[in-house]
Amino acid sequence: MRQFLAVVPLVLLVGCSSFRPDAENIKPVPEDRLLAYQDEYANGGRLVVNRDMGLMGGGCYVAIEVDRKLAARIGMAEVASFQVPAGTRVLGLKIDPMDDTLCGMGRLHKEIAVKVESGSTQYFHVVSENRGGFDIRPDENPPQP
């Protein structure tokens, strides 16, 4: 019984971390939540962002920003693609500013600099972890449909 009681809290903590959904379970972000960077740029590149699944923030959208401009509101197991000019871009993750519920009252501000070359496609994923909260990271092994 003691072993069982020692293991239960660990299992619950692990349950708060996100996990990558299977490719067939990832859906595109609906057009009404794609807010910018949808038109191709001459000599531009593409940024693709997937959001993992998990309990933490599971019922909430998070905001994806490109160069500090709101580009999309993304939910769990969704993917969004952004057409961006070549050069160094700032890819950000924030609380959804259009959300007036409890989800929109937290704190979240993560940014990474991304070097975009003409014709390139780079992949990122949004994770949630029980210790570090939400983060946006380069994805070396993105799910393929």
Phi, psi of 51 (to 5 degrees): -110, 130
Structure-block tokens of residue 5: 């009681």
Measured distance CA(91)–CA(95) in Å, rounded = 14
Read off the pLDDT of residues 111-131 as tens digits, 9 standing for 90 and up.
Answer: 999 999 999 999 999 998 877
Q: Mind listing the pLDDT tens digit of every residue in the chain (145 residues)?
A: 555 444 334 344 444 577 788 888 899 999 999 999 999 999 999 999 999 987 665 678 999 999 999 999 999 999 999 999 999 999 999 999 998 777 777 788 999 999 999 999 999 999 988 777 889 999 988 877 5
Structure-block tokens of residue 142: 């993105």
* Residue 5: C-alpha distances to residues 8, 10, 12, 16, 17 (Å): 5, 10, 11, 18, 20
**pLDDT at residue 9, rounded to an integer:** 44
3-state class (DSSP) for residue 143 = coil
* Residue 58: C-alpha distances to residues 55, 74, 75, 99, 114 (Å): 5, 11, 8, 14, 27
Give 63's strand partners: 73, 94
Q: Quick one: DSSP state of residue 3?
A: H
Instruction: State the virtual CA torsion across 88, 92, 98, 100 in degrees, nearest 10.
Output: -160
CB atoms near residue 66 (< 10 Å): 22
Structure-block tokens of residue 123: 């992949």
